[in-house]
């Protein structure tokens, strides 16, 4: 670990001990951001998808995230989109 800070059980001198990984799962995050940025989408089903290229095969992609409204319609992360 770089720096002069140390981690001791019961005593915290650094923000995180060496090797700490922080994982934050923000459910429907990107769809929620779209609904915040575009108020006309609030309360409506929203999906966020990636863009395909000719090398990947035009016209086929998957849902990256779906809003709760879209999930109630059966659309889930990973669903293919024609």
Element holding 35 (H helix, E strand): helix 29-37
Could you give the CA distance from residue 18 to residue 16 in angstroms, rounded to a whole number?
A: 7
Alpha helices of 1-82 — where are they, by DSSP H? Answer: 29-37, 68-72
pLDDT at 8 > cutoff 60: no
| Predicted TM-score of the model (pTM) | 0.61
pLDDT confidence of residue 1: 43
pLDDT at 3 > cutoff 80: no
């Amino acid at each position: 670990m770089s720096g002069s800070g140390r981690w001791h059980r019961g005593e915290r001198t650094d923000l995180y001990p060496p090797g700490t990984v922080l994982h934050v799962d923000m459910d429907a995050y990107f769809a929620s951001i779209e609904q915040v940025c575009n108020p006309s989408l609030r309360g409506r089903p929203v999906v966020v998808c990636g863009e395909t290229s000719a090398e990947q095969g035009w016209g086929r992609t998957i849902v990256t995230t779906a809003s709760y409204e879209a999930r109630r319609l059966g659309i889930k992360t990973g669903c293919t989109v024609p």
